[in-house]
Amino acid sequence: MKKERKLIIAGNWKMNKTVAEALALVDDLKIELANITEVDIVVCPPFTALCEVAKALRDSNIRLGAQDMSEHNPGAYTGEIAAEMLKEFTVRYVILGHSERRQYHKESDELISKKARAAHVASLEPIICVGETLAERETGQTEKILETQVRGSLTGLSKEQMVETIIAYEPVWAIGTGKTATTAQAQEAHAFIRGIVGKMFNETVARRVRIQYGGSVKPANARELMGQADVDGALVGGASLEPRSFADIIKNSI
């Protein structure tokens, strides 16, 4: 399918895969996806595997992403990872504000915006996650939550930086649950988010920004989801841990 914006499909491995397991997975993906040029393909291993996976992906069509980073430059921040440390491993993308970070680590929109600005200083492309909980959707708060998160998380970015920023709409109720937003729900949310970007920046920027869908994406639902006008890819969780499944999501999206 031909779209205005190039699809970007990223695999978020979360806290999974030893280095050996990570290398086995990317070796399989390189074979499965060797001829794919229509989609920007990204894998986001845990920090411990970044170095070896970077070597394995050299000269391939698969790009490397990280799952988080600090808003700080290198210094006395125990347990943190700075953007320039990620750059050493040829990381190009970094996931910020995932619902699990928001929930378990109490990350705020303000913190995420600081991380996004730090990512751009290091020439990393942030994948900024937003999304409502089931309770928020059932009480009619979806648009309010999305507007708050989008505006708060994108604060301080320039128009040029925004174009190089990816937004991932991940309804929290669909992550790892097997539930997926209907194509109509996904399209509606993506169009709403694009509208907010247009108001914050301008319509030209909004048309260029890529917005991914995340939440129980599988090979069976990929084609229909990616076929929506404002859905520009996917941030894939569990299904990205198995090479055939992740590859089929990508192939079914073209």
- Active-site positions read 98, 170
Which tokens is 87 given? 């750059």
- b/e per residue, 77-110, with b = 16+ CB within 10 A? eeeebbbebbeebebebbbbbbbbbbeeeebebe
Which tokens is 149 given? 């998160």
- b/e per residue, 167-180, with b = 16+ CB within 10 A? bbbbbbbbbeeeeb
Rounded to whole angstroms, how far apart are CA atoms 40 and 50? 19
Pairing of strands 93-96, 125-130: parallel
Rounded to whole angstroms, how far apart are CA atoms 67 and 99? 12
Alpha helices in the chain (DSSP H): 19-32, 50-57, 83-87, 99-104, 109-121, 134-138, 142-154, 159-163, 183-200, 203-208, 219-226, 243-253
* CA-only gyration radius of the chain, Å: 17
Give how far Cα 203 sits from Cα of 32, 95, 159, 194, 232, Å.
37, 25, 11, 9, 17
Give how far Cα 210 sits from Cα of 4, 54, 146, 163, 200, Å.
10, 24, 16, 8, 15
